């Protein structure tokens, strides 16, 4: 009997201890959940691995700095938190990541990039009333993905239309050859050049499509050489575009190279073979006197040890746009939801961001001037603005 009483007492002690530990554990979980609930969370669906990881790093560098500035300035009542999901720049991976951001993290606002990924996630953004903001993809059809899909970057048709007058009118280059990745982005640039060059007094002498994963271009280079162009336009991205440039130069093709904003990454700007290449981006005056631009340039350079790119500024601006909209909703006593963010964006019209005040077209695409940049090995030089 004594043994049974001792055993019962021990068992009760264990139960009491377990109950205490359980209560403490649940208290800790509740505390953590409450703390998490006090955060205002947005998402970033970017390529963090794979051949296009440099874009994800560049996009994320601007977004991370913007989050730090928003929190340091206490622009919002809650702490702003940015949750990343790796899209690998692939549509299927993008859909998986978007599902997690929408259904697990419940983010009302998601940063995205790349034309294929953006088109794949747009239906989910629309159904869930989640705002998706693109600062890197430039396919013209990204302007047609619905009211919950916004672009803080000019699209490819705007970039091509801006650079053609400079190339033809000022550089006197009239015989174009295009090398393009065989996907919606490359196909759209092929179509745009074929349409816009003749009225400008130039011709698209030849177009060469390359598979998205290809890294060897000996045959294409030979055909480019045979076409005798004045200018070679490259519509690709990531490691592939670097290889195209390198193999052109290594095989003696010396004509002028031009591209769109995909050239706006450190790898291309540091590539010796790319020196002298021309490319378009949204216009940014890094020497603008406004405090926001100067703070961005100074802090970005100090944090990352290099000058900012247009991509970094686009994603900085995307996060800051969210903060402006969310702060307005807090002021009005409304919840920060995708539907309410859309309503405020449509009501406010103009937004002070890095590079100046911007507005949006009815389709959610930013109105912005375009600049033509030239790679010089030292961060680039602006040679024309449109």
Q: Domain of 49?
A: 41-154+286-368
* Tens digit of each residue's pLDDT (9 = 90 or more) over 242-300: 999 999 999 999 999 999 999 999 899 999 999 999 999 988 888 889 999 999 999 99
- State how beta strands 149-151 and 131-134 pair: parallel
CATH of the domain at 349: 3.40.50.2300
**Domain co-membership, 186 together with 148:** no
Q: Residues 322, 283, 126, CA angle at the centre, nearest 5°?
A: 35
35 within a domain of the structure (yes/no): no
Residue 31 confidence class, pLDDT cut points 50, 70, 90: very low
Most confident of 35-44, 77-86, 136-145: 77-86
144 within a domain of the structure (yes/no): yes
174 within a domain of the structure (yes/no): yes
**Domain co-membership, 144 together with 177:** no
**Domain co-membership, 175 together with 234:** yes
Query: Taking 60 as the threshold, does the pLDDT of residue 29 lie above it?
Result: no
Of the candidates 98, 105, 104, 100, which has an alpha carbon nearest to the alpha carbon of residue 125? 98
Containing 237, the helix (H) or strand (E) segment is none
**Domain co-membership, 165 together with 52:** no
Report the percent of the chain where pLDDT is more than 90: 80
pLDDT value of position 368 = 85
What pTM was estimated for this model as a whole? 0.84
128 within a domain of the structure (yes/no): yes
Of the candidates 147, 148, 207, which has an alpha carbon nearest to the alpha carbon of residue 176? 207
**Domain co-membership, 251 together with 378:** yes
Of the candidates 272, 274, 267, 196, which has an alpha carbon nearest to the alpha carbon of residue 232? 274
C-alpha separations of 187 from 170, 191, 238 in Å = 27, 6, 17
Average pLDDT over residues 101-113: 97
**Domain co-membership, 142 together with 214:** no
Our count of domains for the chain comes to 2
pLDDT value of position 386 = 78
**Domain co-membership, 148 together with 291:** yes
229 within a domain of the structure (yes/no): yes
**Domain co-membership, 237 together with 378:** yes
17 within a domain of the structure (yes/no): no
Burial-class residue 164 by CB neighbours within 10 Å (0-12, 13-18, 19+).
buried
Query: Taking 60 as the threshold, does the pLDDT of residue 8 lie above it?
Result: no
**Domain co-membership, 180 together with 278:** yes
100 within a domain of the structure (yes/no): yes
Query: Taking 70 as the threshold, does the pLDDT of residue 20 lie above it?
Result: no
209 within a domain of the structure (yes/no): yes
Query: Taking 90 as the threshold, does the pLDDT of residue 16 lie above it?
Result: no
């Amino acid at each position: 009997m004594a043994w049974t009483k001792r055993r019962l007492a021990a068992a009760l002690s264990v139960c009491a201890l377990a109950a205490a530990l359980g209560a403490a554990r649940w208290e800790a979980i509740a505390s953590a959940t409450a703390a998490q609930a006090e955060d205002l969370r947005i998402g970033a669906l970017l390529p963090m691995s794979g051949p296009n990881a440099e874009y994800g790093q560049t996009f994320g560098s601007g977004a991370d700095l913007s989050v730090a500035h928003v929190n340091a300035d206490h622009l919002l009542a809650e702490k702003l938190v940015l949750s990343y999901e790796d899209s690998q720049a692939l549509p299927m991976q993008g859909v998986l990541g978007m599902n997690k951001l929408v259904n697990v993290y419940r983010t009302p606002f998601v940063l995205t990039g790349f034309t294929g990924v953006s088109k794949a996630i747009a239906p989910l953004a629309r159904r869930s009333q989640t705002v998706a903001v693109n600062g890197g993809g430039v396919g013209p059809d990204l302007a047609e993905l619905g009211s919950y899909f916004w672009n803080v970057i000019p699209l490819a048709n705007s970039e091509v239309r801006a650079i053609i007058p400079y190339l033809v009118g000022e550089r006197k280059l009239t015989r174009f050859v295009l090398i393009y990745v065989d996907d919606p982005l490359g196909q759209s640039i092929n179509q745009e050049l074929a349409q816009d060059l003749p009225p400008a007094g130039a011709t698209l002498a030849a177009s060469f499509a390359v598979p998205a994963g290809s890294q060897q271009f000996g045959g294409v280079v030979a055909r480019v050489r045979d076409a005798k162009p004045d200018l070679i336009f490259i519509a690709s991205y990531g490691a592939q575009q670097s290889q195209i440039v390198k193999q052109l130069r290594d095989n003696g093709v010396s004509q002028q190279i031009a591209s769109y904003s995909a050239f706006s990454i450190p790898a291309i700007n540091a590539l010796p073979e790319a020196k002298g290449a021309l490319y378009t981006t949204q216009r940014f005056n890094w020497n603008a006197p406004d405090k926001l631009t100067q703070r961005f340039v100074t802090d970005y350079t100090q944090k990352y040890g290099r000058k900012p790119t247009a991509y970094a500024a686009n994603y900085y601006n995307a996060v800051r746009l969210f903060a402006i909209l969310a702060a307005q909703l807090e002021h009005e006593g409304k919840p920060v939801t995708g539907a309410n963010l859309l309503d405020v964006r449509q009501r406010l019209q103009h937004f002070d961001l890095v590079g100046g005040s911007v507005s949006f077209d009815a389709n959610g695409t930013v109105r912005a001037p375009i600049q033509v940049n030239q790679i010089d090995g030292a961060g680039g030089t602006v040679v024309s603005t449109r």
